[in-house]
Amino acid sequence: MNACMLPSDHDTAAEFATSAQVAVQKWRDGQCEVLTDVVAEEVPIALEYNGISHAVMMATPADLEDFALGFSLTEGILADASELYDCDIVNGAEGIQVQMQIATERFVTLKEKRRNLTGRTGCGLCGAETLAQAVRHPAVVDSAALRFSAQTVHAALASMQAQQQLQLQTGATHAAAWLGNDGSIALVREDVGRHNALDKLIGALAQQQQDFSNGAIIITSRASYEMVQKAATVGIAFIAAISAPTALAIRLAQETNVTLIGFVRRQGHVVYAGAQRLI
């Protein structure tokens, strides 16, 4: 039997870096070697509105301004990006505070909801206190002219994967990408949580004043209910996912007139809702 000992000390990543280097034992065919591996970081992110903490999410510590704005829009806290007046990122000993100043009327509404979310990676509904809070129903998305060919979607997926730098380093992150109506990937955001990656993308697009009805999102995860809900809330009408959707996600896509396709891989896909937008 091979002896395989880890070093007693190893390099640590800089505070709140997106990845860290760690010593690992790699076994193959009964043989062991000690290597340095790159792993994704995961940090508590506290989202504060007008001095009040509202949610703590575990996330990759990158693109946090995008995350804060996207989360605020997809959770219905803000109706428009212009209602976010200021956003400060404050590093602490155990995590990061994202301190936002929002419009007074939005803050009053937020306090009335009295929601206290405590999010974990891959969990978009943790902390919802009632069924009504857990299952929100966005308005029907109006994007009748939007069309994409299957070839465009598959080519965009390949282009997206080449731009997932953190995933290429660590193998541990999800991504969400914006497919413009010209057929090109215009923007990619990554995170250890699939919901966070989508929020980051939506926040970045909102800061660019992108027309949400004029493109599609591609996600490297299953299409859960929350992913459809977030997209429909801001008016995105087309979702392509690498993995499967849930039944609730399909029903919500049908309800909100969102095109939902899954298993987009190896030049194949499955259409679950809104086939009229796929050529």
Q: Where are the alpha helices (DSSP H) in the chain?
A: 64-74, 104-113, 131-134, 150-162, 165-170, 194-207, 225-234, 247-256
- C-alpha span between 279 and 271 (Å, rounded): 11
123 catalytic residue (yes or no): yes
Q: Which of 4, 32, 87, 123 is catalytic?
A: 123
Which position has the token pair 């009805």? Answer: 213
In this structure, what DSSP letter does residue 138 have?
P
- C-alpha span between 233 and 244 (Å, rounded): 21
Q: Are 148 and 155 in contact (CB under 8 A)?
A: no
Q: Are 65 and 89 in contact (CB under 8 A)?
A: yes
* Helix, strand and coil percent figures for the chain, each rounded to 5: 30, 35, 35
In this structure, what DSSP letter does residue 221 have?
S
| Residue 110 C-beta-side C-alpha neighbours within 13 Å | 27
Sheet strand arrangement including 259-265:
185-191, 174-180, 215-219, 238-241, 259-265, 268-273
Return the active site residues: 123
